Amino acid sequence: MGLFSGKPSNKEKPMKAGIHPEYQVATVTCACGNTFVTRTTVGNLKLDICNECHPFFTGTQKIVDTEGRVDRFMKKYGQAKK
């Protein structure tokens, strides 16, 4: 029974046969070289970023500066070097 109603909850209903995809063991590989094993319906995965290299989880930040914008900003608005 559901918590507040007299109707059965979704957990008590049996799953329909033949409509659910097969789960298979898959290896997830990140561009940083980190790999781990999980289960998925799509097979092996290749990621650009994972929890080992993402700045939110690592606490580090990479500044990608292809045109010298950061240097130009620091020269114009940055603190004077002593």
Enumerate domains of the chain plus CATH numbers. Answer: 19-77 (4.10.80.400)
Average pLDDT over residues 40-64: 79
pTM of the model: 0.49
pLDDT band, residue 40 (cuts 50/70/90)? very high
Q: Are 16 and 35 in contact (CB under 8 A)?
A: no
Residue whose entry in the numeric block shows the structure tokens 């700045």: 55
Query: Is residue 69 predicted with pLDDT exceeding 70?
Result: yes
pLDDT band, residue 44 (cuts 50/70/90)? very high
Look over the chain and give the mean of its residue pLDDT values, rounded to a whole number: 78
Task: Determine the Cα–Cα distance for residues 79 and 82; give it in Å rounded to an integer.
Answer: 9
